[in-house]
Structure 1
Amino acid sequence: MAELRTGMIFDPIQQVSLVPQVKEFFLARQPILDRNQNLVGYELLFRRVGTRPGNAVEDLRGAASIIAHTSELGMKSVMGNAAGFFNVDYATLMSDIVSFLPCEKVVFEIPQTIKITAELIRRISDMVGAGYKFALDDVIIFSDYIRPLLPLIEFVKVDTSVMTRADLSTLTSQFKEANKLLVAEKVETIEQFRNCAELGFDYFQGYYFAKPVILSGKKLTSSQAAILQLMALVVRDAENAVIEHRIKKEASLFLSLLRLVNTPAMGVAKNINSISEALLVLGRRQLRQWLQIQLYMGPDTDPASASPLLLLATTRGKFLELVARKLKPANKSIADTAFTVGTMSLLDTLFSQPMTTILEQIILGKEVREALLHRTGFYGDLLKLSEYVEKPGEASQLLPPLLLELNLPSESLYALQLEAFEWSNSLLPSYREA
């Protein structure tokens, strides 16, 4: 790796004074997808609870917070196998803190307004030589000012929310001629995704993939219908023999369950060769979670790719479970129910059906139904909390009253989020093997 020349040294010993305390922050992890809807990366954003829209912590201290804590925890815990996109400013780029992250896993985003100096060009050139990648961020115009950076830039991120289709078309043509990969930012609907795809964008950042598109007359696959039936049996606390009989009718589920309980992560000393043994090993709680996750996998899921909807659903489920466990530690069933609410909150998107139609096929308690349909009650508040931290922006202002209502300290958010990210990322390989 090429030696990096730096203008400022980052001393880990001074991290406490340089980096703001994380207790007042939460971490927004915004997904970046390719044209085939596969997850390729996340942009990580630190946000202070209660700040106004756009008041991001983007100075040296904020950027240092993200990089320092991500490197300390390990990229895989936060990002899984996806790449990490990090906002950096001039001072951060010139410091040694950027070398804390592995070059093969990160993309540094440079604001279009950065002061371009000969020193900056040398610094970025050295980092590119060492294997780091760079993106030009929040671009809305192709200007001569950025030309000195272009040979060193691989990605160009465009804020599509403030541009007309004609302007976007002109901009994409200009950067495509310069052989740059284009990332459409703030893509919130399927229509926006399709529009940007037609214009030639390569990647798409936003939560458009989580928005339900209702298709009248769409039928569930046989596998999905079978999983819902099994979930209904588990909710009714049916005997294992009844559940076993239903699983055996679905060959794919039969094999998946046996493979799951025989993975090293289950810690079983002997091979499990029957469904009856598998059900005993799993127990009802893990069986219910396995079924909920299986809904998002489907028979055509590519084991080599990450489904953004699956990752979002499992992260939501775990986050809600952790929050519920912290707020009501004496009642384990509340945490289990919270996990169900989180994972099932995206079924309308998965099935392209109204949530009311889906809930007709499985018996759930009134509190769960009210949470999924109307975001009301205790579980509804937990679900809103997850949705707020997923998309900061204006929603970050809604966090303080909700945290107050839940009696959840704001300093708890960051740690609970990280635990949910790590659980979701580490869990998926086992379920893919299953």
Structure 2
Amino acid sequence: MKKLKRSGWVAALCTLLLVVTACGGKTDSSSSNPDAKASSSASASASASSDSGNAAPHGKVTITFWNGFGGSDRPVLEGLVKKFNSSQDQVEVKMEIMDWSVLYQKLTTASASGQGPDFIAFGPENIAKYADLGVLAPVDDFYSNNMIDTSLLPQGYDKLIHYKGHFIGMPMNYFAHALYFNKDMAKQAGLDPEKPPTTWDEMADWAVKMTNPKKGQYGMTLPDGWVYIPQLIWANGGDVIDYDTKTSMINKPEAVEAVKYWADLVLNQKVAPAPNTDNLKMFASGKLGMMFDGPWMSPQFKAAKVDYGVALMPAGPKKQVTFGAGLSMHLTSKGAKDENVKNAVYKFAQWWFQKDTQKEWAIKIGFPPIRTDLAGDPEIIQSNPDLKVFMESAQIGQPWLIGIVNSNKITSDVFQKYFDQILLKKADVQSTLDQASADLDKILATER
């Protein structure tokens, strides 16, 4: 799905929810194929579903699916569901698409009265909240029955679908950040656009050389929001949270060192505009040299006729890493009450993961497939060369705020608050991160 341009940082968190889904294709038929092996189990389960109270007029089990894919991806998703429904005679998916904010409001109230969907799609930042409310049901048997080959999932994806020792979701899509750079600005700065930066120091050098404040031109952007600064901290060997102990790590030496490195470039060498700047507009107009973001930006840059390139995130002192996440499908407690309905949801989730389905989705939507065995697929790359880098980025992706109920509160009350102080008010990094850590620990204390 296209991502709306940013006007602030909290909006960036919302953007995670506005991620595209997939379009289906023909199923694999070879019994030696892991997709085909798993499908026989799903078919057997779904066949027994015809006696369910959810049976459709033609004997299919009807399952309700809620999601918020209301943008340019909507017709693709609708086509995908239609294709699935017509591809077999056991399951009928009835989909309801609504605004994400409406969805969350309806989900809470409907679930309290035993109503609502049989399964739902949303981002990992919502899992802990709705699992604790009893809205979501574990799906351990989806994996113990080998309905998909989990070895094909991107690095770290298993963390997105786990909560409190259980599988709580099924794969839907995945994305990772990469480095976008303006080739024209690189050339004007005497840089080789065919050799983008591969390390922090190289990226800093590019940023300085492409910066000319008198022309309103900046080498890079450093928003204070949700995942931009954390991935820099990761690259320096640090983290924001110790997920085992639910304690803050944001003021540890590795984090402080990373923030100082980039804050110095922003504040003293003036390589970045103000954090609340419209980065899309600046990049498209040739005023911003580099930014890191997801595959949803490519169509917008192409539409603006920007001569741009895409590269893997440059490696930090300790490792090469980027932010990686995605939406997953979740069986609701309502859906789990009926074994036949549950099996029908599993059948759809399994079909979604099929190789041909994922390939067609990647080509039509412009998002990388969730299966890593498609990373070098020539048809996908030919349809959108940018996807080559984004598929490679999946191998260095790292999620964050996984299993945290108050993830939104952390974003607004810690990240936006304290990094505003650093990047806008030039507050001392160490003391500011000490304060941020104290507030973060207060939030995390409620989740231990």
Q: What TM bracket, shorter-length normalisation?
A: under 0.3
Identify which of structures 1 and 2 has the higher relative contact order when contacts are C-alpha pairs closer than 8 Å and 6+ apart: 2
Q: TM-score, normalised by structure 1?
A: 0.24
Greater percentage in helix: 1
Q: TM-score, normalised by structure 2?
A: 0.23
